[in-house]
């Protein structure tokens, strides 16, 4: 899953411009993206679409996603922007409501995600049971045996409740739950000593990559697919930016040298990635370099991926300034909408990808069906987000009338 | 799908066993095997597998082989013997069910010592994908294993896991396949990408892997084809004019 251009950096402008952010932050505790920087929502929405498309195995539509054009992918975008908006929203709430209340709200959010995870897990278990029950093919004896083992409900369920049993392609959710659940103290530290906290976070990432410690999963002690010790660096960096750090980086981000280096890195990364599937470019990476860099670890957030994401952010911030008119147009509105209710849309997207996979296997797996399901899934995600936004607006109006 | 219909209707007719040449050419040479074949010395080929072969009730000893479905190593032996009649080729299979690459590597030196093969065909990655093994450790294990084989005087061909559309929602094989490709390329050994070959077959309708009622000969047809393509790769790797370049 390649990363969509990440919206980052200089969106703190809105605070300095004196605009009061729109949308409630207090009542619902949800991360309503306030403020005028629509790029955050835009790219988070795009990342969610890409994650959905990439989660449908054997889907021709996942060729358009950004994992095929560079080292990083939609996950980096999602984690970074989530850290950014979480710090923005909850950081403000710490000032107005105090640390304890804000922490409670964050934990409640994490709890909602946990419940969503359990729900998705049940769906997943249902699909496993269905496949085990209906499909018998001696060619796949190993795979079916493993599925039967996974479907042992007594063990699998308990492990899922402990977030240790995470089915393939659902790994972002436990990562997000852990990042959010541990966020209150980190947010407080980020507000007090932002640079020191960021430094510690980077050191933790480096240590996790170098020494390889990770959380344990299930079955058989497999490690978490997304190493939280490594991926937290993007979340914390996002939070650091969201609390004003991005302003300080403005000079760096807009310097022509940095822009040139970033663009160059993007091009190199594109060529390398293309060489993986385009035979004429096969030998573009010299052997000694290949020995050092491969495999590019997604689990531990390899430096190449992190750098690629940062380079992408620099280029995007330059190409798409915060006040670009098209951001307010109807064309991009669906994407922005999905970014605004990102967590619900993400969970729904995982559910839809299961459904799509089921349809592709049971009914027909033709090219036309893959495209149809991809488009239908995205339309459904947009619809859900529109529904949620409408509902939130209605609730606000009712509350305003009540207390206004 | 059409192919399943035809292969069951024309039971005697074998399916078209084609695959894109990029997947079937060796890419690297197999000089040690070539030397052994040239010298007409008794040549052993070791196949390391992670298959759990479901044993049917064993009737009289002689018929044991018929009771179990034939998997690709047995086809390799048959086809190679036809192709290199003077090569005195034996294929030995070592099955380590439910084993990741790391587990296999631990046992590898002993197996190599015992069989002294000229070629090791190592099928790995299935259980690494199922158990979610760490990709970096998987890559290291594969590299170490190839090193052991070379030290023991054997060439290596790496074989990737099967393509299984039905279970792909539970086990994500693709990253491990990529890792295998890179590990093989880094060590300059041929990589038989069974995963992509089977994916090609599914897309072209040559085999139907996700139908709820697979044709009864599917297992044997697929393994026969795999065996044939593997032998093609072996022949490609052996056909070298620079024997002894290692």
Scanning A365-404 for CB atoms below 8 A from B yields 365
Question: Which residues partner with B48 through β-bridges?
Answer: B94, B122
Cβ pairs A/B, distance under 8 A: 120
Question: Among partner residues B54, B135, B186, which is closest to A297 by beta-carbon distance?
Answer: B135
Tell me whether residues A150 and B135 touch, CB distance under 8 A. no
Q: Please indicate whether, in this complex, the C-beta atoms of A357 and B169 are within 8 angstroms of each other.
A: yes
Whether A67 shows a pLDDT value over 80: the answer reads no
Who among A140, A361, A365 is closest to B162 (CB)?
A: A140
B159 with B50: CB under 8 angstroms?
no
Q: Which residues contact A391 (CB under 8 A, 6 or more apart)?
A: none
Cα dihedral A325, A331, A337, A338 sign: negative
Q: Is A135 on the interface with B (CB under 8 A)?
A: yes
- Token pair for B242: 């620079």
Which of A124, A136, A142 comes nearest B126 by C-beta?
Answer: A142
A-contacting residues of B 185-244, CB under 8 Å? 185-186, 199, 209-210, 212, 214, 218-219, 222
Average pLDDT, chain A: 78
Q: What is the pLDDT of residues A4-29, one digit of tens each?
A: 333 333 333 333 333 333 333 333 33
Q: Is A144 on the interface with B (CB under 8 A)?
A: yes
Answer whether A134 touches B (CB < 8 Å): yes
What tokens appear for A5 in the block? 């251009």
First to last CA, chain B: 47
CB contact under 8 Å between A290 and B51, yes or no, is no
Instruction: Quote the tokens at residue A292.
Output: 């050092």
**CA angle in degrees (0–180, nearest 5) for B183-B185-B191:** 85
pLDDT above 70 coverage of chain B, percent:
83
pLDDT at B52 (0 to 100): 66
For position A220, what pLDDT does the model report?
54
Lowest mean pLDDT among A246-250, A267-271, A389-393: A246-250
Between chains, do B135 and A295 touch, taking CB under 8 Å as contact? yes
Angle CA A41–A178–A32, to nearest 5: 25
At A65, the pLDDT band (50, 70, 90 cuts) reads low
For residue A136, list chain B residues with Cβ-Cβ distance below 8 A.
Answer: 214
**Does B185 sit within 8 Å of A141, measured CB to CB?**
no
Cis before residue A295, ω within 30 degrees of 0? yes
Q: What is the spatial distance between Cα B230 and Cα B76, in angstroms, rounded to a whole number? A: 7
Tokens found for residue A239: 């939070």
A60 — pLDDT class (breaks 50, 70, 90): low
Encode pLDDT of B2-49 as tens digits. 444 444 444 445 667 888 887 888 888 888 888 888 887 888 888 888
Closest C-alpha to B180, from B148, B222, B225, B135 = B135
Closest residue in A to B50 (Cα) is A142
> Computed over its alpha carbons, how large is the radius of gyration of chain A?
21
What predicted TM-score, i.e. pTM, was given to this entire model? Answer: 0.76
* Angle, alpha carbons A151-A153-A157 (nearest 5°): 110
The span from the CA of A342 to the CA of A369, in Å, is: 26
The pLDDT score that the predictor gives to residue A162 is 63
Q: What is the mean pLDDT of residues A32-39?
A: 59
**A138 CB within 8 Å of a chain B CB:** yes
Say if residue B57's pLDDT is above 50.
no
Could you tell me if A276 lies within 8 Å of chain B, comparing CB atoms? yes
Cβ-based contacts of A285 with chain B (< 8 Å): none
- Is the Cβ pair A142, B130 closer than 8 Å? yes
Nearest CA in chain B to A136: B212
Q: Do A299 and B134 touch (CB under 8 A)?
A: yes
Q: Shortest CA distance to A202 belongs to which of A231, A163, A243?
A: A231
> Which among B139, B170, B222 has the least Cβ separation from residue A139?
B222
Q: How confident is the model at residue B123, as a pLDDT?
A: 92
Q: DSSP letter at B61?
A: G
CA angle, residues B213, B215, B218, in degrees to nearest 5 = 120
Q: Is A58 on the interface with B (CB under 8 A)?
A: yes
**Percent of chain A beyond pLDDT 90?**
19
Q: Please indicate if any CB of chain B lies within 8 Å of the CB of A299.
A: yes
B window 162-181, beta carbon within 8 A of A: 162, 164-172, 175, 178-179
Contacts of A276 in chain B (CB under 8 A): 178
| A33-37, B17-21, B130-134: range with lowest mean pLDDT | A33-37
Residues with Cβ within 8 Å of residue B185, at least 6 apart in sequence? A290, B191
Span A109-123, average pLDDT: 87
For Cα atoms A356, B163, A167, give the angle at the middle one, nearest 5 degrees: 55
Torsion angle (degrees, nearest 10) of CA B190, B210, A59, B139: -30
Structural domains of chain B, with CATH: 2-15+25-53+62-238 (3.40.50.1110)
Q: How many angstroms separate the Cα of B162 from the Cα of each of A26, A57, A238?
A: 52, 15, 40
The answer to whether A295 contacts B22, with C-beta atoms less than 8 Å apart, is no
With contacts defined as CB-CB under 8 Å, which chain B residues touch A150? 170
Residue B95: closest CA among B86, B87, B104: B104
Please check whether residue B27 touches A, CB under 8 A: no
Q: By the 8 A CB rule, do A174 and A164 touch?
A: no
A57 chain-B contacts, CB cut-off 8 A: 165, 168-169, 172
User: Residues A52-74: what's their mean pLDDT?
Assistant: 72
Give A266 to chain B, closest Cα distance, Å.
21
Residues contacting residue B190 through CB under 8 Å, at least 6 positions apart:
B26, B27, B28, B30, B156, B157, B158, B184, B233, B237
The answer, for A292 touching chain B at a CB cutoff of 8 Å, is no
CA torsion sign for B15, B16, B17, B19 is negative
Kindly list the strands in the beta sheet with B155-159, ordered across the sheet, starting from the edge strand earlier in the chain.
Answer: B89-95, B43-49, B119-123, B155-159, B191-192
Q: Is A141 on the interface with B (CB under 8 A)?
A: yes
Segment A153-172, tens digit of pLDDT? 676 676 666 666 566 566 78
Is A139 close to B209, i.e. CB distance below 8 A? yes
- A143·B162 Cβ contact <8 A: yes
Q: Give per-residue burial for B165-192: e unless 16+ CB within 10 Å, then b.
A: bbbbbbbbbbbbbbbbbbbbbbbebbbb
């Amino acid at each position: 899953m390649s990363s969509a251009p990440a919206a980052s950096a200089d969106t703190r402008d809105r605070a300095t411009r004196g605009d009061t952010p729109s949308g409630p932050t207090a009542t619902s505790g949800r991360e309503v993206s306030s403020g005028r920087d629509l790029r955050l929502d835009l790219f988070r929405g795009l990342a969610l679409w890409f994650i959905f498309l990439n989660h449908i195995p054997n889907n021709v539509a996942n060729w358009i996603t950004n994992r095929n054009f560079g080292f990083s992918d939609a996950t980096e975008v999602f984690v970074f922007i989530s850290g950014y908006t979480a710090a923005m929203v909850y950081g403000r709430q710490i000032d107005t409501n105090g640390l304890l209340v804000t922490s409670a709200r964050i934990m409640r959010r994490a709890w909602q995600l946990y419940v969503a995870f359990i729900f998705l897990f049940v769906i997943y278990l249902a699909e496993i049971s269905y496949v085990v029950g209906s499909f018998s093919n001696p060619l796949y004896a190993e795979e079916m045996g493993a599925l039967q083992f996974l479907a042992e409900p007594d063990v699998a369920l308990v492990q899922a409740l402990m977030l240790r049993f995470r089915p393939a392609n659902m790994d972002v959710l436990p990562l997000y739950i852990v990042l959010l659940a541990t966020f209150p103290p980190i947010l407080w530290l980020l507000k007090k000593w932002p640079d020191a906290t960021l430094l510690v976070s980077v050191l933790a990432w480096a240590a996790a990559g170098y020494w390889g410690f990770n959380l344990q999963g299930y079955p058989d002690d497999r490690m978490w697919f997304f190493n939280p010790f490594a991926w937290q660096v993007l979340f914390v960096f996002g939070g650091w930016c969201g609390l004003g750090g991005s302003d300080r980086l403005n000079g760096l981000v807009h310097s022509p040298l940095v822009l040139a280096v970033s663009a160059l890195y993007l091009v190199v990364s594109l060529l390398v990635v293309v060489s993986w599937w385009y035979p004429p470019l096969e030998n573009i990476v010299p052997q000694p370099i290949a020995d050092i860099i491969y495999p590019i670890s997604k689990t531990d957030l390899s430096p190449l991926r992190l750098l690629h994401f940062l380079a992408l952010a620099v280029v995007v911030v330059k190409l798409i300034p915060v006040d670009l008119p098209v951001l307010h147009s109807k064309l991009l509105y669906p994407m922005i909408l999905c970014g605004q209710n990102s967590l619900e849309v993400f969970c729904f997207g995982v559910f839809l990808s299961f459904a799509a996979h089921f349809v592709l296997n049971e009914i027909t797996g033709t090219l036309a069906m893959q495209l149809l399901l991809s488009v239908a899934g995205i339309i459904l995600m947009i619809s859900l987000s529109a529904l949620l936004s409408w509902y939130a607006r209605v609730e606000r109006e009712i509350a305003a009338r009540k207390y206004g | 799908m059409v192919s399943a219909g035809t292969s069951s209707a024309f039971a005697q007719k074998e399916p078209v066993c084609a695959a894109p040449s990029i997947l079937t050419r060796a890419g690297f040479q197999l000089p040690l095997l070539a030397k052994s074949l040239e010298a007409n010395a008794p040549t052993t080929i070791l196949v390391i597998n992670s298959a759990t072969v479901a044993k049917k009730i064993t009737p009289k000893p002689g018929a044991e082989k018929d009771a179990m479905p034939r998997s690709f190593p047995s086809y390799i032996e048959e086809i190679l013997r036809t192709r290199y009649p003077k090569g005195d080729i034996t294929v030995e299979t070592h099955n380590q069910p439910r084993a990741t690459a790391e587990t296999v590597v631990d046992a590898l030196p002993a197996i190599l010592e015992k069989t002294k093969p000229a070629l090791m065909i190592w099928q790995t990655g299935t259980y690494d994908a199922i158990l979610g093994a760490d990709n970096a450790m998987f890559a290291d294990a594969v590299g170490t294993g190839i090193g052991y084989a070379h030290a023991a005087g054997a060439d290596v061909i790496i074989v990737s896991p099967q393509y299984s559309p039905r279970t792909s929602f539970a086990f994500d094989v693709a990253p491990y396949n990529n890792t295998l490709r890179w590990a093989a390329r880094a060590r300059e050994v041929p990589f038989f990408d069974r995963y992509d070959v089977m994916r090609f077959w599914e897309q072209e309708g040559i085999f139907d892997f996700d139908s709820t009622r697979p044709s009864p000969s599917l297992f044997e047809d697929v393994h026969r084809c795999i065996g044939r393509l593997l032998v093609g790769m072996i022949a490609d790797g052996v056909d070298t004019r620079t024997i002894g370049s290692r």
